[in-house]
Amino acid sequence: VSYLADVAWEITRRKRAEEALKESEAKYSAVVERANDGLAIVHKERIVFVNKALSEITGYSVSELEGKVLLQVMTPESAEYALGIYQRRMSGKPVPSMYQVTALRKDGTTRSVEISAGTIPYRGDLASIAVIRDITERKRAEEALAESEQAFRNLAEHSPSMIFINVRGKVLYANERSAEAMGYTREEYYSPDFDFLTLMDPGSLETVRRNLARHRSGEDVPPYEYTLRTKDGKRIDAIISTKLIQHRGESAILGIVTDITDLKRAQKTIEESERKLSTLMSNLPGIAYRRANNRNWTMHFLSEGCRDLTGYAPEDLLHDRRLAFNDLINPEHRGMVWTETQAALSRREHFSFEYAITTAGGVEKWVWEKGCGIFSPDGRAEILEGFISDVTERKRAEEKLRQSEERNEALLAAVPDIIMEVDTAKVYTWANEAGLEFFGHDVIGKEASFYFEGEQETYGIVQPLFEGAENVIYVESWQRRKDGEKRLLAWWCRVLKDSSGNVTGALSTARDITERKRAEEALRQREYQIRTLFENASDAILYLDESGRVIECNQRIKDIFGYEPEEAIGKSFAEFPFVEPDMMSQILTEFDRMLESGESRLLEFESKRQDGQTLFVEASTRMMDPNTGIRGTLTIIRDITERRKAEAALKESETKYRQLFESISDVVYSVDTEFRILSVSPSVREILGYAPEEIIGKRFTDTNLLTGEDLKLAAEDTLRVLAGEEVIRTYKFIAKDGSIRIGEAKGTPLIREGQTIGTIAVARDITERKRAEEREKEAEKLREIDRMRTDLLANVSHELRTPLTTIKGYATMLTEYPDKLKSEEKTRYLEAIERSSDRLNELIDSLLDMSRIDAGMLRIDRRPSEILPILQQAAAEAQVRSPTHVIVTNVPSQLPMARFDPRRIRQVMDNIIDNAIKYSPKGTTIRVEATRSESNLQVSVSDQGVGIPAAELERVFDRMYRVKRDATARVAGVGLGLSICRGVVDAHGGKIWMESVEGQGSTCFFTLPLDTEEDGHDKQA
């Protein structure tokens, strides 16, 4: 029994212990889960237990944290530090019980945490238990506080004012400026024995104590002035601003002290300055003022100079008492004074100007005023301050000077020569109007050499002037005019000096001598040319005096007559041995006549050379121009022996040519460079019916020989021949009886002595040949029409036969076997008959349209219409007819109206789209597009068919034309569709054309005029 009782007691005790343990664990669990700090148990570097708070700190769930290495929730630097502490703790070494690390949250952000850790038994081993507190916000607050304190310290240490923090009369803080200004070190300030009132001047102690007491009672104290006493006894006038603050849990006084000693001194200086200024202004020859910025210029202050300048006492004008200052200003100047003042104030600048006033005695005076605005805090200039001085005498002097300058400028403007002034740096400082006109108005301020053309010694030549030389220096210099032209100027330069005799520059007068120099140079060139011509002339040239003796002759006299020039000089003409005596008599007679009449004479005569050889010469004699200063005659002798021979040969040649000219059957004619007919062969009478004399001498452009168009061509061809070309052209000539003759003309240049003097042409009558050619062309055209008619009949008969055969066959079946045919067969036959009938109707309509177009009877009902519905309907119905093709439209919805016949344009679209379907493989795309092109509407249909060769693009709109190729041989149709399209589009005033690339497809374009008229009308093609 005892044993059982012991067992029962043991069980009871154990049960109680278990219940106590459970109760304890429940309490522990509740505490752990409700704790604000994180709790973790780490065994062998892995987390084996965490509470909810740690989960919130790290962002991981409890299950994610348990089993994770603790170091994985720290930054690398913190993990290394924490691992060292953990390892030392687990090995029994001393470690800090609390330390701070940076936790790495699941989302990558960091938190500052504080860890308190120890060891506990865990499953027969030791584990580390850690309390982890999130101190991030505390750290931020500490950092902010530290930054704030540092900012205050930085501000205080760099402040120009003395700054103190005072608690119960003891200095807790003093900035560097306090130590510098007062002579105490900071250690002395912070000493427990230092009394803050020691800094006060005895005279200010009562004021300071009273204000300290006010602070202690919680009262705000405004800034006040007092006097400090430095360590060495120096007085400092200061102003202090104080405020009651909390410093480390205690009430303290923050004081900011500003040294105003210099300010006090400045105030005294200003007061003295104001006294002096008042004395000065009372003695100034003018008015110092302070006035309102209003239209009256109401004066608030005027110096005593007002009386002398205006005749009014200052009190007469102050506050507009007797009259306003504006009343003194000349009425013509009041607007200017107000406007310029306000403009300067708007720019916050000083204003200054001159104007006239009327004094109390009625005298007009000129004054100069300068002032500025005194601006209020809101930026308004309410007050003006300035000075007004009397400038009447200066204005009078300026007026006299202006009048003098105007006279001088008028004189200078009247001088045609250039007048320029330079300083010692040779920079232009002044120019008269002629100078500005030559160099340009930007010449002032430029160095003279800026206008030099080419290398020149101008500066060296005028340098003595700048060294003080008094003489006038002449120099010629090539200069650049304002338009860039190079001109030669002649300069007369003189030195300029000031009143002290110092050289200040030079004044120069210039004249443009370019033309004179050019004339002189031209004269020299002319003399040289004349001398060269005289010496190298192909003729003998002789100058004879009034008595007929040779003064001078050239070398050519030897070449012609064999005599040296020296043998002829000094002899009279009568003594010349190369003239026969009987001829000499005639020459002397003509010479006398020339002397009497003054007219030139031209003689040809036979002469002899020194060696006895006979020659012919031409002598031209005329009187010398008396203006040349040479009296006598000029005789030019030319050897014309060869010319005489050539003339004889030419005469013989002309005789032969004339015989040929008069006997040739073609028309030979020549014209000069003015298109005037010089000659024409007699054959012109046989061909055109004109006698040669009827047209010779007339400009062919003024005759009626050519038709209008050919007349223009003939003129152009003549110009080409005159330019050296050889031209062959067929013209239509008009005969005298009005009939037309066809002539083929060949023209070549007519050249005499190397110069083209006209044209010569041979025209052959080819009228009969042309008529034969025309008859052959007409016959060929008729053959082509016959061929086309045959082709048309063949195509039409074939196209008609096919649907007629279908209609006949199915109609016979329906008529003869009505009972044997099934209902669906009858329906199919009737549909075939209907399709064939439609095809016949379409073919007949095409033939009728083509015939109407040919006859000009195709009616077009043009009216303002929209193209979009027509294109969409044509494309949609074509898609039904040919489901094996893809037909798309790309047409803007806002196209403008055009004037067209909707039914006819629908016919055009059907033909073009059907044509594209015929020549495009199944499954390809046909694209219909429309755009605005200038004043037209442009429509296009593109396919992806076989394409059309470039050589055949122009013929696709011909009737019954089909490209010759295997791919199109099996396409049905008579070939009228595109031809009808062209007729319809032409009737609308539009244009139709085809573009194609072989193997890639074709695009057919046509245009329609936009609607430019309000009312429609019918048009008949």
Per-residue pLDDT tens over the stretch 401-414: 888 778 777 776 66
- For residue 334, give the amino acid letter: R
Whether the CB-CB separation of 472 and 490 falls below 8 Å is answered with no
What's phi and psi for 847, nearest 5 deg? Answer: -65, -40
Dist. CA 297–CA 290, nearest whole Å: 9
With a cut of 50, say whether residue 846 has pLDDT above it: yes
Dist. CA 614–CA 640, nearest whole Å: 12
- Cα–chain-centroid distance for residue 702? 55
Q: What is the pLDDT of residue 974?
A: 54
Per-residue pLDDT band at 320 (split at 50, 70, 90): very high
**How is residue 1021 written in tokens?**
């093609």
**E strand segments, 168-285:** 170-174, 224-229, 235-247, 250-259
With a cut of 60, say whether residue 759 has pLDDT above it: yes
Q: Which helix (H) or strand (E) holds 561?
A: helix 556-561
Q: Which residue has the higher pLDDT, 654 or 701?
A: 701
Q: Which residue has the higher pLDDT, 515 or 583?
A: 515
With a cut of 50, say whether residue 23 has pLDDT above it: yes
379 CB contacts (<8 Å, ≥6 apart)?
Answer: none
Strand 364-375 to strand 381-390: parallel, antiparallel, or no bridges (unpaired)?
antiparallel
> What would the pLDDT profile of 554-565 be if each residue is shown by its tens digit?
988 888 888 888
Q: What DSSP state is assigned to residue 454?
A: S
**How is residue 240 written in tokens?**
């202090």
- For residue 58, give the amino acid letter: T
State the average pLDDT over residues 604-625: 85
In which region does residue 552 sit, left (phi positive, over 0), alpha (psi from -120 to 50) or beta (all else)? beta
Tokens 């390892």 sit on residue: 87
Among 4-13, 47-56, 264-273, 930-939, name the one with the lowest average pLDDT: 4-13
With a cut of 50, say whether residue 1 has pLDDT above it: no
Q: What is the pLDDT of residue 966?
A: 46
With a cut of 60, say whether residue 970 has pLDDT above it: no
> What would the pLDDT profile of 141-183 be if each residue is shown by its tens digit?
777 777 767 767 777 787 888 998 888 878 888 998 888 889 9
Q: What is the pLDDT of residue 595?
A: 74
Whether the CB-CB separation of 926 and 856 falls below 8 Å is answered with no
Q: What does pLDDT average to over the chain?
A: 85
**How is residue 929 written in tokens?**
């597009």
Q: Which helix (H) or strand (E) holds 275?
A: helix 261-283
Per-residue pLDDT band at 892 (split at 50, 70, 90): very high
Helix (H, G, I), strand (E, B) or coil at 424: coil
What's phi and psi for 268, nearest 5 deg? Answer: -65, -40
- Nearest partner of 466 among 500, 487, 496, 434, judged by Cα: 496
With b meaning 16 or more CB within 10 Å and e meaning fewer, what string describes 244-275? eeeeeeeebbbbbbbbeeeeeeeeeeeeeeee
Q: What is the CA radius of gyration of the chain?
A: 63
State the average pLDDT over residues 997-1017: 79
Whether the CB-CB separation of 937 and 923 falls below 8 Å is answered with no
Q: What is the pLDDT of residue 798?
A: 52
State the average pLDDT over residues 931-939: 90
Tokens 């005596």 sit on residue: 581
**How is residue 958 written in tokens?**
């011909």
Dist. CA 149–CA 171, nearest whole Å: 17
Q: What is the pLDDT of residue 856?
A: 67
Helix (H, G, I), strand (E, B) or coil at 513: coil
With a cut of 80, say whether residue 291 has pLDDT above it: yes
Q: Which helix (H) or strand (E) holds 344?
A: helix 331-346
Per-residue pLDDT band at 1016 (split at 50, 70, 90): very low
With a cut of 60, say whether residue 494 has pLDDT above it: yes
Q: What DSSP state is assigned to residue 897?
A: P
State the average pLDDT over residues 970-983: 72
Percent residues over pLDDT 90 in the chain: 39
Dist. CA 74–CA 45, nearest whole Å: 13
Q: What is the pLDDT of residue 373?
A: 94
Per-residue pLDDT band at 849 (split at 50, 70, 90): low
Strand 98-104 to strand 925-933: parallel, antiparallel, or no bridges (unpaired)?
unpaired
Cα atoms in the Cβ-side hemisphere of radius 13 Å centred on 916: 36
Helix (H, G, I), strand (E, B) or coil at 613: coil
Enumerate the H helices of 448-541 as residue ranges: 458-466, 514-536
> What would the pLDDT profile of 811-835 be if each residue is shown by its tens digit?
888 888 888 888 888 888 888 788 7
With a cut of 70, say whether residue 22 has pLDDT above it: no
Q: How many residues does the chain have?
A: 1021
- Cα–chain-centroid distance for residue 159? 57
Kindly report the CA angle at 217 between 214 and 220, in degrees rounded to 5?
A: 55
State the average pLDDT over residues 71-99: 90
Q: Which helix (H) or strand (E) holds 699?
A: none
Whether the CB-CB separation of 327 and 317 falls below 8 Å is answered with no
Q: Hey, what's the torsion of the CAs at 138, 144, 150, 152, to 10 degrees?
A: -120
Determine how many CB atoms are found less than 10 A away from the CB of residue 652: 10
Strand 898-900 to strand 859-865: parallel, antiparallel, or no bridges (unpaired)?
antiparallel
With a cut of 70, say whether residue 917 has pLDDT above it: yes
Per-residue pLDDT band at 1018 (split at 50, 70, 90): very low
Q: Which residue has the higher pLDDT, 343 or 621?
A: 343
Dist. CA 721–CA 673, nearest whole Å: 10
> What would the pLDDT profile of 723-735 be if each residue is shown by its tens digit?
999 999 999 999 9
With a cut of 60, say whether residue 971 has pLDDT above it: no
> What would the pLDDT profile of 356-403 be if each residue is shown by its tens digit?
999 999 999 999 999 999 999 898 999 999 999 999 998 888 888 888
State the average pLDDT over residues 610-634: 80
- Nearest partner of 1003 among 937, 896, 930, judged by Cα: 930
Angstrom distances, CA of residue 737 to CA of 682, 704, 705, 743, 984: 17, 11, 11, 16, 45
Q: What is the pLDDT of residue 1017?
A: 42
Long-range contacts from 517-521, C-beta under 8 angstroms, 24+ separation = 517/488
Q: What is the pLDDT of residue 842?
A: 65
- Nearest partner of 635 among 561, 567, 576, 548, judged by Cα: 548
Dist. CA 972–CA 360, nearest whole Å: 118
With a cut of 50, say whether residue 1015 has pLDDT above it: no
Dist. CA 320–CA 343, nearest whole Å: 24
Per-residue pLDDT band at 793 (split at 50, 70, 90): low
- Nearest partner of 990 among 933, 924, 922, judged by Cα: 933
Dist. CA 957–CA 365, nearest whole Å: 99
Long-range contacts from 463-467, C-beta under 8 angstroms, 24+ separation = 465/493, 465/494, 465/495, 465/503, 465/506, 466/424, 466/495, 466/503, 466/506, 467/503
Tokens 């002829």 sit on residue: 568
**How is residue 690 written in tokens?**
């004109």
Q: Which residue has the higher pLDDT, 836 or 662?
A: 836
**How is residue 962 written in tokens?**
């089909």
**How is residue 489 written in tokens?**
């100027």
Per-residue pLDDT band at 661 (split at 50, 70, 90): low
Q: What DSSP state is assigned to residue 741?
A: E
Per-residue pLDDT band at 8 (split at 50, 70, 90): low
With a cut of 60, say whether residue 973 has pLDDT above it: no
With a cut of 90, say whether residue 944 has pLDDT above it: yes
**How is residue 858 written in tokens?**
């195709």
Among 80-89, 107-116, 652-661, 850-859, name the one with the lowest average pLDDT: 652-661
Q: What is the pLDDT of residue 975?
A: 66
Whether the CB-CB separation of 880 and 917 falls below 8 Å is answered with no
Helix (H, G, I), strand (E, B) or coil at 619: strand
Q: What is the pLDDT of residue 1019?
A: 44
Percent residues over pLDDT 70 in the chain: 87
Among 91-95, 369-373, 768-772, 984-988, name the one with the lowest average pLDDT: 768-772
Whether the CB-CB separation of 824 and 948 falls below 8 Å is answered with no
Cα distance between the two ends of the chain: 145
Tokens 């300029």 sit on residue: 496
> What would the pLDDT profile of 669-687 be if each residue is shown by its tens digit?
899 999 999 989 888 888 8
